[in-house]
Homo-oligomer: A and B are copies of this chain.
Amino acid sequence: MASDIKALLFDVFGTVVDWRGSVSRELRDFFTPRGVERDWDEFTQDWRALYQPAMEAVRSGARDFVVLDVLHRENLLKLLSKSDISGLNDGEIDHLNRAWHRLAPWPDCIPGLTRLRRRFILATLSNGNIALMANMARFSGLPWDVILGAEFTRSYKPDPKTYLGSAAALGLTPAECMMVAAHNDDLRAARALGFATAFVARPAEHGPGQTVDLNAEEDWDFVADGMDGLADQLLPTP
């Protein structure tokens, strides 16, 4: 199995980076000196909750493809209004929106990905746009070989185009690609198209009360508790 795999394609939000902790911290650091107090963990969860419905408008064909930065910004404006926060200028709103470009990786990611990269092509297969992924990689030192996914394919996961278009760009068949994700639904979509699958558990992605994706729900090809653990399974012992 592992011997056929040439590339690892990664979900990023939640799987590689801690969006909840990172965005919440940015909001707190921005608003606290301005005297604005809210539950920033909850604000962050609410922001993320608007993510799937916004992408669904694109997936359903109700609107043309726009990159995630645009959807994130629309959703931020909605939430600021709902939270009675006003008076921010465009530059400040852009700065907050780009908090998603500055997400911190889980601690196992840099060492694990660095090891995995010796043997496999590492690609992002995220719904995040290219600028977001490139800026995040520079900010956090993520060692991607190539940024694929939503913007390249002009589609949002779990649309089959996002997966198949990314594999094709690598010149690989789905069977030569392994989807790595902390989300069972992402892996189900990838497996249905012929990808190998690796589940990396992130039980703190949604904070202390997380109820979803705590465990592998199917017999994924690999199940690990982090990228270092995945590297232990995929790489020959030294």
Contact = CB atoms under 8 A, between A and B. Distances in A.
Interface string A136-173: 01100000011110011000000000000000011110
Nearest to A138: B145
A69 interface: yes
A99 interface: no
Interface residues of A, number: 21
A134 B145 contact: yes
Interface in A29-49: none
Q: How many copies does the complex hold?
A: 2
A169 B131 contact: yes
A235 to B, nearest CB: 16
A139 to B, nearest CB: 11
Nearest to A172: B131
A170 B130 CA distance: 7
A91 B123 CA distance: 25
A169 B133 CA distance: 11
A121 interface: yes
A171 B69 contact: yes
Interface of A: 69, 121, 123, 129-131, 133-135, 137-138, 145-148, 151-152, 169-172
Given A121-B135, A129-B171, 7 more contacts: A130-B169, A131-B171, A134-B145, A134-B146, A134-B170, A151-B169, A152-B152
